[in-house]
A = this chain, B = another copy of it.
Amino acid sequence: MEDKTRPVIAIDAMGGDFAPLEIISGALLALESIDAEIVLFGNEKQINDILDSELSSSSKLDLKNIKVINSTDDIKMDDSPSEVLKHRKNSSIFMGTEFAARTKECAFISAGNTGAVMACSLINMKKIEGILRPAIATVIPLGENKFVLLDSGANSEIKPLYFKQFAIMGTVYSREILKIKDPKVGLLNVGSEEKKGTEPVVEGYKLLKESELNFIGNVEGRDIFNGAADVVVSDGFTGNILLKSIEGMANFFFTEIKNIFLSNFLTKISALMVKKELKAMKKRFDYEEYGGALLLGIDGVSIISHGSSKAKAIKNAIRVAAESLKAGIVNKIKNEVQNQ
């Protein structure tokens, strides 16, 4: 009986810079606080070796909620999506998404090749009826000012209606997972006036304005860091560049600050005095807190984690996956898209 509501999380154990060790560690970490069943896809021997070694080093570890399914194909970071769909059906990503599609209350997580995850999720889980294009929704962590950005890379091309659908999906995500009441939606643009931007953006503005969403108008690069919007909609090209720039800039700043504190004896002493506060600040910008980006618009829950994910990120991805299943965000998106 219990199994009926218990989430199942299919995980690509082979994807990401620190796979399979950190992926498996993340899964074990998640099971300490999340009631779920985990299915690891990948090289069975490698995975079991790691599980055995973890088991021998921890007395409280219980593997009854972990299954392993062997996959034989490898996907490299530069394999094209079409290559994967044609020749890598025995890969952890293809098999995991296929498994998630035919299993009740099952989500999929991978820190591997983004294009492959998108292609396999789309083929196996299918698109939600009425959705034109799935989009990648990423939470940008900025302390109190966090927002969901979508599309952050699934589509380079854009049409006006995509913006509206992205806004609907982002609103559901923000409301159900981030617990924001009546999320404010902003359209990423180069000015606040209605007529600003490219043609699809101007048309998209109109559709958003006529919708029942909590649309607050255009938001500029400056505004998004002031908490102007909870959901920021964009084409996937601009969104992806923005996302990676924020990441690059955050790294750059933290390195600069570190260098300042390492300048001399006095600054090193100073560093000790603000250590706690700096650590808290860094945590407020930590994308690992959100575990990964959701591919929204498909008939299932699929999470694309950062390539450099470590155990903590994977644990949080599992938490978000379980919450997404529990909140039924796929059904909520279906309903809201039909009523659009």
Select one of B143, B237, B263 contacting A190, CB under 8 A: B237
Expressed in whole angstroms, the minimum distance between the Cβ of A174 and any Cβ of chain B is: 20
Q: A256-B281, A281-B260 are in contact. Are A245 and B274 (CB under 8 A)?
A: no
Expressed in whole angstroms, the minimum distance between the Cβ of A261 and any Cβ of chain B is: 7
Residues of B contacting A339 in the complex (Cβ-Cβ under 8 angstroms): none
Chain A contact residues, majority secondary structure: helix
CB pair A157–B248 under 8 Å, yes or no, is: no
CB pair A157–B198 under 8 Å, yes or no, is: yes
Would you call A29 an interface residue if the criterion is a C-beta within 8 Å of the partner chain's C-beta atoms? no
A172 to B277, CA, bound (A): 44
Residues of B contacting A309 in the complex (Cβ-Cβ under 8 angstroms): none
Residues of B contacting A225 in the complex (Cβ-Cβ under 8 angstroms): 245, 248-249, 251-252
CB pair A197–B156 under 8 Å, yes or no, is: yes
- What is the total number of residues of chain A having a CB less than 8 Å from a CB of chain B? 54
CB pair B260–A270 under 8 Å, yes or no, is: no
Expressed in whole angstroms, the minimum distance between the Cβ of A191 and any Cβ of chain B is: 8
Would you call A5 an interface residue if the criterion is a C-beta within 8 Å of the partner chain's C-beta atoms? no
Expressed in whole angstroms, the minimum distance between the Cβ of A273 and any Cβ of chain B is: 4
Residue of B nearest to A238 (CB): B238
CB pair A246–B221 under 8 Å, yes or no, is: yes
Would you call A44 an interface residue if the criterion is a C-beta within 8 Å of the partner chain's C-beta atoms? no
Among A197, A238, A281, which residue has the most Cβ atoms of chain B within 10 A? Answer: A238
CB pair A193–B248 under 8 Å, yes or no, is: no
CB pair B237–A221 under 8 Å, yes or no, is: no
Residue of B nearest to A228 (CB): B248
Contact code string A139-169 (vs B, CB < 8 Å = 1, else 0): 0001101000000010011000000000000
A252 to B147, CA, bound (A): 14
Residue of B nearest to A280 (CB): B260
Q: A241-B188, A277-B260, A281-B256 are in contact. Are A221 and B248 (CB under 8 A)?
A: yes
Residues of B contacting A238 in the complex (Cβ-Cβ under 8 angstroms): 237-238, 241
CB pair A241–B190 under 8 Å, yes or no, is: yes
Residue of B nearest to A269 (CB): B273
Would you call A61 an interface residue if the criterion is a C-beta within 8 Å of the partner chain's C-beta atoms? no
CB pair A193–B156 under 8 Å, yes or no, is: no
